[in-house]
Chain A
Amino acid sequence: MKNSSLYKGSLNTIIMKLLEEKGRMYGYEITQKVKAITLGELNITEGALYPALHKLEAEGLLEVEVEKVDNRLRKYYKLTEKGNKETVNRLAELEEFIKNMQNIVNPKLSY
């Protein structure tokens, strides 16, 4: 993952935001989707994605569905009701963070 330490803290929020838009997704789909949106700039590693998904699931923010696709079982993740509420909070928090960072990186000198 590029600049991993900067992105790391936002991985959960990224996952939740994607699930909010798409309804339900499976692990591999999430990695590909993120890569596509960021034009390959942000590459979520497998070693980070699954632990994040499992943690969100244990916290009751995600629930799972399993379906047989081709000749294998596929596990889909989707937001629970609690997860939906939490997504709104976390996105607001992230936006606030981005705004503050922008002010620090690019301070408006004249008020």
Chain B
Amino acid sequence: MKLSDEQIQRLYRFTREHFVEHYDLQTELVDHLSNAIEEEWKENPKLSFEEALQKEFKKFGVFGFMDVVEKRQSALSKKYHLLIWKHFKEFFTIPKLIITISLVVGLFYFFKYIFFYELMGIGMILWFVLLIAALVYEKRKMKKRKNQTGKKWMFEEIIYGYGSFSAVFAFPIHMINIFSNHGNGIPNDYILFGISLFLVAVFLGSYVVVKIIPSKAEEYLKQTYPEYAFSN
């Protein structure tokens, strides 16, 4: 006996009731439970749908789907980090390496000749504003998409939540703090170069996280979720 459409919908509800919020994982679990229930019915045709469901659910253990959800989260976070790393590395290979080097050298000379601490403060505030603007813009795009499909996708949430990289938003504030405790005079060339390199790296990193990956989100989501095409 095959499951009916209503029973499939019931299984989707069942996964939601057991704290599986994301459509991608719901779909996989629904198919699994369906197969298991249909198999169960072959041996035990008298079992009701609900009884068979409870029996299969027990096999997931005392924590139900929690473990699967948690592990899925960490697997996708890992995928996300690899993605960031891939894009970040591109800035250190030709041709983008030229941009990176020019940025570092440019910043270094800029600091060397026109260094004053207030400038850092202004720069950081500007950066902070830009980050927030990008954030608001991309969040709005995600909301629009969710309204279209009515579904939540875990990888999408990670991309627009910036994984564990949301700390980049606090970075400019930290920098202001550090530079407001300055002593007198300009740091030596090595320190200046170090600061330039570090700032460029952080800037590129946040650029990848806030701009590059979200702008390619559609492509990455399609690759992660072939079912994306079915639900639109």
Contact = CB atoms under 8 A, between A and B. Distances in A.
B5 interface: yes
Chain A: number of interface residues, binned into ranges? 20 to 34
A57 B223 CA distance: 11
A75 B78 CA distance: 21
A71 B31 CA distance: 10
Interface of A is mostly: mixed
Chain B: number of interface residues, binned into ranges? 20 to 34
A70 interface: yes
Contacts of A50: 28, 32, 68, 71-72
Given A66-B230, A72-B31, A51 B61 contact: no
A8 interface: no
A107 B201 CA distance: 57
A28 B75 contact: no
Given A46-B32, A46-B60, A47-B60, A70 B2 contact: yes
Nearest to B4: A71
Contacts of B36: 28
B72 A51 contact: yes
A68 B231 CA distance: 11
B68 A51 contact: yes
B2 to A, nearest CB: 6
Contacts of A69: 31
Interface string B40-82: 0000000000000000000111010001100110011011001
B27 A73 contact: yes
Nearest to B76: A58
A50 B59 CA distance: 13
A28 B230 contact: no
Contact of A27 (B28, B79, B82): B28
A57 B79 CA distance: 9
Nearest to A65: B226
A2 interface: no
A74 interface: yes
Contacts of A70: 2-3, 34
Nearest to A70: B2
A99 interface: no
A26 B35 CA distance: 10
A54 interface: yes
B189 interface: no
A74 B36 CA distance: 13
Nearest to B231: A73
A28 B68 contact: no
A45 interface: yes
A47 B61 contact: yes
Nearest to A32: B39
6 tightest Cβ-Cβ pairs between the two chains A and B? A51-B71, A28-B35, A66-B226, A54-B75, A58-B75, A58-B79
26 contacts: A26-B31, A29-B35, A45-B60, A47-B60, A47-B67, A50-B32, A50-B71, A51-B75, A54-B71, A54-B76, A55-B78, A57-B75, A58-B75, A59-B78, A60-B82, A65-B226, A66-B27, A66-B226, A66-B227, A68-B230, A71-B3, A72-B27, A73-B31, A74-B31, A75-B28, A75-B31
